[in-house]
Structure 1
Amino acid sequence: MRKSRANGSRCAGKHLSKGGEMTFSYDFNKADWMAFSEYYLRHSALHRRWRFWSRFGFVPVAILFLLGGFLDPQKDLGWVISFGIVGVVFFFAYPRVYDHQALTRVRKDIENPENAKAIGRQTMTLLPECIRVCGPGAESTVSWDRIVKVVGTEDHLFVHLSAAAAIVIPRLSLQGASFEEVKARFEQQVGETTPAG
């Protein structure tokens, strides 16, 4: 990210100006960040894979305890049955626990003072060759070919720069252009918007 220039920045300009430029602004807040994180966790193949396979780490331990209990007839089998029930509950409940832990980490990241500069009023200019985003104290430029995909939900556009990173454009605080105009411009440059499913 480059430091924002003063009033000479291209971030300042007319909305929907000539020459193929489109300028609009929006407020990016913690709820928008959380919305993208929840979307990512629901749709990430890596997260789903970890979520599925991590619960199997408990299975070998459970099998050893169960076998140990059944092989030694002198032991009380009540604890073995209890341990088996706990193992089954863990196996089916762990994906929810894993999701909760992931969202807790995201909330910590959002509350981190280092990330406060990402929150606030953003001005985006869509140019024929790139996107320019100006936020509190920073300006960045992204070429169109760096955009992996654009995902549209009812409330947001997620402009993916990678599988786990995106520019989030919220519908509610959008000013200077309608949500449909912004979506249409991204579709014109990048291709069809992927619906969030």
Structure 2
Amino acid sequence: MTEFQQPHSPLPPKPVDVDVIENAIADLLRGLGQGDKSEVMAQTPRRVAELYAQTINPGDIDIEEDFKVFDNPGMQDLVLVNDVHYVSMCEHHLAPAFGIAHLGYVPDRKVAGYSKLKKGLNYLARQPQLNERLVVDAVDFLEARLQPKGIGLVLRSAHCCIALRTNAPSQEVVTVFERRGVLREEQYWQPLWQSAVAEKPSFLGR
């Protein structure tokens, strides 16, 4: 990509119909044998519909407007941003996954504010996702906007679909990563990897 090309959003906001969601949740509850519970059927379908509308691909996010980059003041070495919490939605079961991201990049001409890096990740994580797709989408997204010499991202997450099936808190940690450019070199990759896997993610407790 040249400096004159405008990067695109891989997952632009999509239309949301809260009424359709509400009716579907009401059918789901009836299918689960909960339709005779008036206190559940009265308000729960709408609450769930509004929750999903607010958290999955909300249409009021303009990531192109929100994601700003700045001229590099002279940084030539690795920038590490650790312990970025995010929530994703497993596209296989529509159950949440709680994750912590660790990002490293070596800037060229541009840098980004740390909150913007988190915004970019969460924008993509809010879609129904697979970990393997999310890490690639996120690196694509950040690389296109930062144009760094190299970039790497490690995602570590625990998945509620596992906990729901086993009726126990999930202690399994899923780790995926993507690295490009100079982050494939050990001198840059090792500091990121070691900081990412130094300890079990805190959302799982001790």
Query: TM-score w.r.t. structure 1 length?
Result: 0.27
Greater length-normalized contact order (CA 8 Å, ≥ 6 residues apart): 1
Bigger radius of gyration among the two:
1
Query: TM-score w.r.t. structure 2 length?
Result: 0.26
Please identify which structure carries the higher helix content. Answer: 1
